[in-house]
Amino acid sequence: MSARPNIDVSNLPTFAFGHRPLTWWCTWSLILIEGGMFVVIFATYFFLRTPVPDWPPGVAYPRPFWGTVNLVIILVSCLPNHWAKKAAESLDLRGVRVWLAVMIVFAFAATAVRFVEFGYLNCRWDQNAYGSIVWVSMGAHLLHLVTDVLDSIVLLALLIVGPVEGTRFTDASENALYWYFVVALWVPLYVIIYWVPRWM
Partner 1 sequence: MAEEPLKRELANDEALAEEVADEHERRALEKTWGDEPGFWGWLASTNHKTVGKRFIYTAFGFFILAGILAVLMRVQLARPESTFLNPDLYNQIFTMHGTTMMFLFAVPVMEAVAVFILPLMLGARNIAFPRLNAFGYWVYLFGGIMLWVAFVMNVGPDAGWFAYVPLSGPEYGAGKRADFWAQMITFTEVSALVVATEIITTFFKLRAPGMSLNRVPIYCWSVLVMAFMVFFAMPTIAWASACLMMDRLIGTHFFNPAEGGDPLLWQHLFWFFGHPEVYIIFIPGTGFVSTILSTFSRRPIFGYTALVLSLVSTGFIGFGLWVHHMFATGLPRLGESFFTGATIMIAIPSGVQIFCWIATLWGGRPRFKSPMMFVLGFFFIFVIGGMTGVMQGAVPVDLQVHDTYFVVAHFHYVLIGGAVFPLFGAFHYWFPKVTGRMLGEKLGHLTFWVMFVGFNLTFFPMHILGLRGMPRRVYTYQPHLGWGDLNLLASAGGVLLTLGVLLFIVNALRSLRAGVLASDNPWGAATLEWATTSPPPAYNFLYPPTVDSRDTLWTQPADQPVVVGLRSDVREVLVTRTLDAEPDLKAEFPDSSIWPLLAALATTAMFIGTIFTPWAFPVGMVPIFATLTGWFWPKKRQAEERPPEEVKQKHGKRYYKLRGQES
Using DSSP, state whether 185 is helix, strand or coil: helix
Q: Which of 140, 147, 137 is nearest to 191 (CA)?
A: 137
95 binds partner 1 (CB under 8 A): no
Using DSSP, state whether 164 is helix, strand or coil: coil
Q: Shortest approach of partner 1 to residue 157 CB, angstroms?
A: 9
Those residues whose C-beta lies under 8 Å from the C-beta of residue 117, and which sit 6 or more positions away, are: 66, 67, 70, 138
Distance of alpha carbon 83 from alpha carbon 100, whole angstroms: 9
| Contact pick of 68, 166, 187, 200 for partner 1 (by CB under 8 A) | 166
61 binds partner 1 (CB under 8 A): no
Among 76-84, 101-109, 122-130, 185-193, which window interacts with partner 1 (CB under 8 A)?
Answer: 122-130
Q: Shortest approach of partner 1 to residue 192 CB, angstroms?
A: 16
Contact (Cβ atoms closer than 8 angstroms) between residue 198 and residue 154: no
Q: Shortest approach of partner 1 to residue 66 CB, angstroms?
A: 21
| Contact pick of 69, 98, 101, 158 for partner 1 (by CB under 8 A) | 158
| Contact pick of 112, 120, 162, 200 for partner 1 (by CB under 8 A) | 162
Q: Shortest approach of partner 1 to residue 93 CB, angstroms?
A: 6
3 binds partner 1 (CB under 8 A): yes
Distance of alpha carbon 196 from alpha carbon 157, whole angstroms: 41
Helical segments of 119-195, H only: 129-161, 166-190
Distance of alpha carbon 148 from alpha carbon 155, whole angstroms: 10
If the CB atoms of residues 71 and 144 are measured against partner 1, the closer one turns out to be: 144
Distance of alpha carbon 154 from alpha carbon 172, whole angstroms: 11
The pattern of x and - marking residues 26 through 45 that bind partner 1 according to CB under 8 A reads x--xx-xxx-xx--xx--x-
How many C-beta atoms surround the C-beta of residue 172 within 10 A? 28
- The residues that touch partner 1, with contacts defined as CB under 8 A, are 1-16, 19-22, 25-26, 29-30, 32-34, 36-37, 40-41, 44, 47-48, 51-52, 57, 90-91, 93-94, 125-133, 135-136, 150, 154, 158, 160-167, 169
